[in-house]
Amino acid sequence: GAVVSQHPSWVICKSGTSVKIECRSLDFQATTMFWYRQFPKQSLMLMATSNEGSKATYEQGVEKDKFLINHASLTLSTLTVTSAHPEDSSFYICSARGLGSGKNIQYFGAGTRLSVL
């Protein structure tokens, strides 16, 4: 089945620094990837849709200058949390849309736990 790899799985950073999270589709090309955020004991919240070769589409209330998304190739999307603060501490999860017979299925990465001190 389709595999989505996310790196790093866990990161701790100081307040004010920027953190980059990578999302790769390992065995398929993904023109569209998605970024979610999940706070403890809550459901996943869609942050943005990442389109290869074009600007990301952000959900209402998500600051595009705070959460920079780059989708430079068909297998890689990155999320950069700029000037991170403790309130940005969360579980960030990416997903990629499948191709062919699985094109209506999203495959998820294992997630990145961000802790901002």
Site for other proteins in 10-69 (CB under 8 A): 32, 34, 36, 43-46, 49
- In b/e form, how buried is each residue of 50-84, taking b as 16+ CB within 10 angstroms? bebeeebebeeebeeeebbbebeebbbbbbebeeb
Q: Can residue 110 be called a binding residue for other proteins (CB under 8 A)?
A: yes
Q: Kindly tell me which of 34 and 67 has the beta carbon lying closer to other proteins.
A: 34
DSSP 2-70: --EEEE-SEEEE-TT--EEEEEEESSS--SEEEEEEE-TTS--EEEEEEETTS--EEPTT--TTTEEEE
Among the candidate windows 12-20, 65-73, 74-82, 100-108, which touches other proteins by CB under 8 A? 100-108
Determine which residue in the list 28, 35, 67, 107 makes contact with other proteins, applying CB under 8 A: 107
Among the candidate windows 12-20, 65-73, 76-84, 87-95, which touches other proteins by CB under 8 A? 87-95
Q: Which residues bind other proteins (CB under 8 A)?
A: 4, 6, 32, 34, 36, 43-46, 49, 91, 93, 95, 97, 104-111, 113
